[in-house]
Copies of this chain bind each other. A is one copy, B any other.
Amino acid sequence: MSPTLTRRQQEIYDYLRDHLDDFPHPPTLDELCTALGLKSRGSLHKQIQALIDAGLVEPMNNQRRGIRLAEQSAAPTSPHPGEDELPLYGAIAAGRPIEAISNPETIPVPPMLRTDKPCYVLEVNGDSMIDEGILDGDLVVIEQRDQARNGEIVVALVEGSDATLKRIEQQPGKTILHPANSTMSPMVFPPDQVQVQGVLVGQMRRYH
């Protein structure tokens, strides 16, 4: 099914996913070129075309500033309704934003550990939530959301950094990410540098 994006296509799609909202208007190809470090519109267009063919980007027929992401047609949750498997997107804090589609791998998750909303699974990397009983190697079930309530544990993408799992506290003018590890300190950011990618709703660990 999924035509398996090439490396560059994945990169470009990730960039679009994460930065498309940064532009006041949808960007022109030239603007995207400079943003992506390309020098040729034509080259970019070729890549975008591939993404359109893959169904990830809305086709823009000669329109100006016409680049939009395609509606994810209820994709992530229930490609197989009644199926209790969720996509495993890889490890968090592994050094990059959560990848879009790349990994077709899924793992079974009991309904009890998830919500009715779209969810996905990540493997935890590191000890930043150890005092909350979330250990290195655990699998966490994340509900896909871009907003969180204070006190929830979220997958947060910090500008120019990794995606991490932290307890969030949003105050006017600043967002604080609290690790649950006595050896680590809370981190404070301007709100627009912190992007919530999901909220923790379940956790699993195997001992064998």
Contacts and interface: CB of A to CB of B under 8 A. Distances in A.
Contact of A25 (B10, B109, B130, B135): B10
A203 interface: yes
Interface stretch (A36-44, A45-53, A111-119, A188-196): A111-119
Contact of A133 (B94, B133, B153): B133
Contacts of A107: 110, 112
A202 B201 contact: no
A84 interface: yes
A80 interface: no
A6 B64 contact: yes
Interface size class of A (residues with CB under 8 A): 35 or more
Nearest to A24: B96
A108 interface: yes
Contacts of A21: 90, 105
Contacts of A113: 204-206
A174 interface: no
Contact of A204 (B24, B65, B84, B204): B204
Contacts of A134: 133
A19 interface: no
Interface of A: 6-7, 10, 21, 24-25, 64-65, 84, 90, 94-96, 102, 105, 107-113, 115, 130, 133-135, 138, 143, 153, 200-208
Given A7-B25, A84-B108, A202-B205, 6 more contacts: A7-B65, A112-B206, A113-B206, A202-B206, A203-B203, A204-B205
